[in-house]
Amino acid sequence: LEHIMANLIQVNKEMEERLDKHGARLYTLEQLDIPQQVSKAISEVVTDAVDWAIQAPLRNRFRELPKADMKEILHQRMWETESYKSHEDHMQLFKSLEKSMNRDHSEELTSPPHPPPPPPLAGQSRASGALGASGSSQVLPPPPPPSSTNQESPSKGSDAPSSSKTVASAEYQA
């Protein structure tokens, strides 16, 4: 009987130890607050998805605008609504936006201006010079001389230069 009682006491101790281990695990699980964490994670994912969906039409509308224009629009809206004053982060973003705009403007002022296009050669009109510059091998006739009558009227078919005149004028230009 003592031997059985000793075995029961030993089994009871082992059960208490196992129960303590499970109790510690249960306490740990309770501290993790899994339902709250799951709810928070789902809320963040849903919020991000909704924000993305709401911003998509705006992004599509402004996709074609140059960065400088977008910066100017954003700056103007923030300035008018004073939304940048609501949070410290917004204030820092507003200041960064202004610095970026100032940097863009100063780079624009310090960069060398684009050289003007070369003037057309003597005897060439703007249209023929532009086509020649594009690598076209087609030679166009010179523009008709200015006169008081309208020579470009579609009713006058005889005003078009003959092919021999076109070849002669092309040789003259060369």
pLDDT tens for each residue of 3-57:
999 999 999 999 988 888 877 777 776 777 778 888 999 999 999 999 889 888 8
Instruction: Give 56-75 pLDDT, tens digit per residue.
Output: 887 887 777 788 888 888 88
The burial of 84, by beta-carbon neighbours within 10 Å (0-12 exposed, 13-18 middle, 19 or more buried), is given as: buried
Q: How far is CA 41 from CA 35, 36, 38, 44, in A?
A: 10, 9, 5, 5
State whether 70 and 100 are in the same domain: yes
**27 is in which domain, residue-wise?**
1-32
Residue with tokens 């030993």: 10
**pLDDT value at residue 35:** 81
Inside any domain, residue 148: no
> Which helix H or strand E contains 66, and what residues bound it?
none
**pLDDT value at residue 1:** 86
State whether 74 and 60 are in the same domain: no
Predicted confidence (pLDDT) at residue 132 exceeds the cutoff of 50: no
Mean pLDDT of 131-147: 52
Percent of the chain at pLDDT exceeding 90? 15
Alpha helices in the chain (DSSP H): 2-32, 34-62, 67-81, 88-110, 126-133, 163-173
Inside any domain, residue 145: no
Predicted confidence (pLDDT) at residue 117 exceeds the cutoff of 50: yes
**pLDDT value at residue 124:** 55
Inside any domain, residue 118: no
User: How far, in Å, CA of 46 to CA of 44, rounded?
Assistant: 6
Number of domains composing the chain: 3
Percent of the chain at pLDDT exceeding 70? 65
Predicted confidence (pLDDT) at residue 145 exceeds the cutoff of 70: no
Question: How many CB atoms sit inside 10 A of residue 16's CB?
Answer: 11
State whether 84 and 73 are in the same domain: yes
Task: Please state, rounded to an integer, the average pLDDT across all residues of the chain.
Answer: 73
pTM of the complete model beyond 0.75: no
Inside any domain, residue 43: yes
Inside any domain, residue 113: no
State whether 28 and 40 are in the same domain: no
Closest CA to 89 of 100, 78, 80: 78
For residues 99 and 133, the model is more confident at: 99
